[in-house]
Amino acid sequence: MVKVYKNVCITGAGNGIGRAIAIAMSNEGYNVVCADIDLKQAKDTLDFILNKQGSGIAVETDITKAFDIKNMINSTVDEFGSLDILVNNAGVTRTSNIMDLTEKDWYWINDVNAKGTFFSLQAAANQMIKQNQGGRIINMASVGGKGFVDVSNAIYAASKGAVISLTKTAAQELAKYKITVNSICPGITHTNILSTIVKKRALEQNKSEEEIMKHYVRDIPLQRPNDPEDIAEMVVFLSSKGARNISGQSYNIDGGLIPS
Ligand SMILES: NC(=O)c1ccc[n+]([C@@H]2O[C@H](COP(=O)([O-])OP(=O)(O)OC[C@H]3O[C@@H](n4cnc5c(N)ncnc54)[C@H](O)[C@@H]3O)[C@@H](O)[C@H]2O)c1
């Protein structure tokens, strides 16, 4: 008998992809914990969910801080009784060419994307092991982690490569507890991160933002960037009973942008 999971915690739920995931999971009937470093944004997502008769809480969480991660997990369990699914979505970047990247960029990007993702996964797995009912962990990687670097930067790519690698090893280690671990690798997706990148590239290249976007879309075989909802639907699937035997995978959602 496969347990039907009910309670999901999503980091970076205040904006973009995380917000779309929170709404999609609420539409599926999950209790949703909206965790974000920006509590106002997390509350905004939560209000949207509550207005649609969904259920959830908002928790101020900086995933680079051990105390905040612990509080995020404890708040989930205190409110809903268990943590069944963690969506490790929060991530940051800044657009830059390799020669302009700094040590500060290295620490900032890796602190959130690699370290924050690892310690959130570790804390969630600890809780799931205690519950003894399995669980799902879904990490947000990127096509950047598989070598596509055009829109972002090399440090970001390395941090997302770490997420893909962590997904494989954690999946193997946690399988004995019936915890699955998978990643999603979004391609170009309409969110604040993308707007910031497009603005910077437009300035650098003395082009309009429309021209920069057109250039990105031209390279996508299906000729369409993602909407955040494209990613959210995959999270719904990976949380479902249908995905019970899938672990250690990193799925591209990118309109065919990169081949593997
Ligand atoms: N947008 C894209 O094109 C794209 C492509 C590939 C991968 N991704 C990944 O998808 C994920 C979501 O990105 P998005 O585009 O929705 O970005 P976004 O900037 O719209 O949202 C990110 C959210 O994470 C929160 N956040 C930032 N630092 C945090 C921290 N330390 N602790 C907790 N929350 C924090 C922000 O407040 C924000 O609400 C990221 O991991 C990103 O790397 C995005």
* Domain count along the chain: 1
Assess if residue 88 is contained within a domain: yes
Active site residue 156: yes
Assess if residue 101 is contained within a domain: yes
Written as tens digits, the pLDDT of the chain (260 aa) is 345 799 999 999 999 999 999 999 999 999 999 999 999 999 999 999 999 999 999 999 999 999 999 999 999 999 999 999 999 999 999 888 899 999 999 999 999 999 999 999 999 999 999 999 999 999 999 999 998 877 779 999 999 999 999 999 999 999 999 999 999 999 999 999 889 989 988 998 999 999 999 999 999 999 999 999 999 999 999 999 999 999 999 999 999 999 88
62 lines ligand 1 (CB under 6 A): yes
CA-wise closest residue to 181 among 118, 227, 228: 118
CA-wise closest residue to 87 among 61, 39, 54, 124: 124
CA distance 156 to 76: 29
Q: Hey, which of 37, 149, 258 would you mutate to test ligand 1's pocket, going by the most ligand atoms within 8 Å of its Cβ? A: 37
Assess if residue 128 is contained within a domain: yes
- What pTM was estimated for this model as a whole? 0.97
Name the residue with the closest Cα to ligand 1, atom 20.
16
Kindly report the CATH number assigned to the domain that includes residue 30.
3.40.50.720
C-alpha radius of gyration, the chain, whole number:
18
CA distance 1 to 15: 35
Determine the structural domain holding residue 82 and report its residue range: 7-188+227-253
CA distance 91 to 185: 12
Assess if residue 258 is contained within a domain: no
11 lines ligand 1 (CB under 6 A): yes
Assess if residue 194 is contained within a domain: no
Ligand 1 atom closest to the Cα of residue 111 is 31
Assess if residue 213 is contained within a domain: no
Ligand 1 atom closest to the Cα of residue 160 is 43
CA-wise closest residue to 7 among 130, 136, 187: 136
* Phi/psi-derived region of residue 236, left when phi > 0, alpha when psi is between -120 and 50, beta in every other case: alpha
Q: Which of 5, 30, 107, 156 is catalytic?
A: 156
* Phi/psi-derived region of residue 187, left when phi > 0, alpha when psi is between -120 and 50, beta in every other case: beta
Assess if residue 92 is contained within a domain: yes
Assess if residue 215 is contained within a domain: no
